[in-house]
Amino acid sequence: MDWEDARLFLTVAREGRLLGAAKRLGINQSTLSRRLTHLERDLQTTLVVRGPQGCALTAEGQALAQRLERAEDALLEGEALFRDRSTRVSGTVRIGTPDGFGVHFLAPRLNRLATRHPDLALELVPVPRSFSLSQREADVAIIVGRPERGRAVVSRLTDYSLGLYAAQDYLAEMGAPKAPEDLAAHRLVGYVEDLLYARTLDYAAEFFGALPPRIAISSALGQFEAVRAGAGVGVLHDYIARKEAGLVRLMPEISVRRSYWLAYHESQRAIHRVQAVVSFIKAAVAREPGWVIDGSGGPGAQASAARPSQTR
């Protein structure tokens, strides 16, 4: 088996589409298709079933992809033995996070990490709906659901709380709901239900019951901006909303808590730059625990009377 053909196949397995794999590899789609066919002939088996919706791996294809990933991990670990002999931290680390945590907590603190390690380059990207550390979509990930499968090193990073909020201007016009049953008379802002990529993001029912949102947005920051602009009542992260003076916390007795988890692929254990980033994130959260989980502070008023695991 030609290793280059195997590498191309592994990219197809990860992307799920020939076009996407060809773009990632920087080669022509027809060339990739020929190489894949060559590999199948060499192995005398069908690895991929091509269809209009993409590529589906056969049982043989899945078995080969799993073994190739282990071989790739071994190569990366072997490379790290020599590349990381120096204690100097250098290279690029991509960090995948929920938009709320990434923008409001991590991004303002990355300057400390960059200053500490001048040869370290950092990439901060949003965690997509479908996310895989094994596909190298990120080196380090902050996620809202603990992975149940895969070869990831996972630790609980911190808990965070969520509550009901509305803008002062909206409440001046519509009045403040005092109890959950009052929400039926209000515009509700929430997630697009079929785009929820983690069960722990499905917390709207704990606040809204069976009431559907009038305005559904797939981004936590998008919901925050809509509520801040007076679109209605929404469930927001306390550590984001409490900094906004124009927002009012509603029914503070109703609150939920979720957890952020930090994860990286086990093949990255010996990579100094990855471990430097992991240590920095853990230390930053430990140094400011109330910043994330304490929903009582901040400039927002409380209307006498104003929850925790994949990401937003």
Decide the pairing of beta strands 91-97 and 54-57.
unpaired
Domain 86-312: which topology?
D-Maltodextrin-Binding Protein; domain 2 (3.40.190)
Strands, E, within 69-184: which ranges? 91-97, 120-126, 140-143, 152-167
Show Cβ contacts of residue 155 under 8 Å, excluding neighbours closer than 6 positions: 261, 262, 263, 282
Please state which of the ranges 74-78, 183-187, 306-310 shows the lowest mean pLDDT.
306-310
Cα separation, 62 vs 59, in Å, equals 5
Write the CATH number of the domain with boundaries 3-83: 1.10.10.10
Decide the pairing of beta strands 140-143 and 152-167.
unpaired
The pLDDT tens digits for 145-195 are: 776 666 788 999 998 999 999 999 999 999 999 999 999 999 999 887 766
Closest Cα partner for 117 from 294, 276, 309, 296? 276
Q: Residue 302 has what pLDDT?
A: 41
pLDDT at 136 over 80: no
The pLDDT tens digits for 201-227 are: 666 677 787 788 899 998 889 999 999
Q: What are the boundaries of each domain within the chain?
A: 3-83, 86-312
Amino acid at 194: D
Q: Residue 134 has what pLDDT?
A: 62
Q: What is the mean pLDDT of the chain?
A: 82
